[in-house]
Amino acid sequence: MASIELAPPRLTGMRALWHSTIGKKAVVAATGLVMVLWLLVHMLGNLKIFFGPTEFDAYAHFLRRIGEPVLKNSWFLWIQRAVLLVVLVAHIVASAQLSIRDLRARPTKYTGKQRFEATVTTRYMRTGGIVLGLFIVWHLLNLSVGVAVPHYAQARAYENVAQDFSLWWMNVIYIAAMLFLGLHIHHGFESATRTLGYHRPTRARAIKITGDVLAVAIAAGFIVVPVAVMTGVVS
């Protein structure tokens, strides 16, 4: 008896885009770029620590209170957190699904030099992504909740950071995570411009330089804070 093959249901619009490989890549690229911008602002804000406790604590307080005359009770902070969470979750889910698709689709394993070239960047991105995901959880527990910070007080952001980085192992965690972050941006930026259709041979050099400058500036800008505490510049 002849069997009838049923065609898979056709998806349309945004659902079709989300289910397609290019749609998922676009989500990873766009959310990655949003996070790079947010990280640049976070890194620049952290540098206020060099202006002393009053400036830094006032800045941390300001961040929690933006928009208060319009939106009562730190609503802006919660809106920002919600947006950031959606962006982060979309980035992680889409890139994990792409990785699973890629691993399933590969019929034979590459060998030798070919394998090395094809997978080294992908491996950096996957391992780096997992490390950064774990770091974000640790960072929030550490500096937003106060885990491992003796005498933690949310209003005294300067003191929390200074106490935090007086522990050697904390410096190791943060500096290692920042190096992973730099590598992740270094590899991800150029790839995002390709996915979003912005990459052209004439722009290749400018895109490479922009990605490298962003990667180094963001990683180094974050790393100077623990280094400043270790060397006594911030205490």
Residues that bind ligand HEM (CB under 6 A): 39, 42, 46, 60, 77, 80-81, 84, 132, 136, 139-140, 143-144, 154, 157, 161, 174, 181, 222, 225-226
Which lies closer to ligand HEM via its Cβ, residue 118 or residue 140? 140
Cβ neighbours, 10 Å, residue 102 = 13
CA dist 203 and 181 (Å) reads 24
Q: Give CA–CA dist 131/134, Å, rounded.
A: 5
Task: Provide the 8-state DSSP code for 51.
Answer: G
Minimum CB distance to ligand HEM smaller for 74 or for 119: 74
Closest CB to ligand HEM: residue number: 144
**Residue of 40, 36, 85, 87 whose CA lies nearest to 190:** 36
Shortest separation between residue 135's beta carbon and ligand HEM, angstroms: 6
Distance CA 202, CA 127 (A): 32
Min dist. Cβ of residue 1 to ligand HEM (A): 58
Q: Which is nearer to ligand HEM, 156 or 199 (CB)?
A: 156
Q: How many CB atoms lie within 10 A of CB 76?
A: 16
Query: Which CB, 27 or 182, lies closer to ligand HEM?
Result: 182
| Closer of 26 and 228 to ligand HEM (Cβ) | 228
Helix, strand, coil percent content, the chain, rounded in steps of 5? 75, 0, 25
Nearer to ligand HEM, 17 or 143 (CB): 143
Tokens 């770029």 locate to: 33
> CB within 8 A of 35, min separation 6: which ones?
84, 87, 88, 91
CB 191, min distance to ligand HEM, A: 18
State how far the Cα of 146 lies from the Cα of 156, in Å rounded to an integer.
11
Please tell me the distance from the alpha carbon of residue 16 to that of residue 39, in angstroms, as a whole number.
31
Q: Least CB distance from residue 151 to ligand HEM, whole Å? A: 15
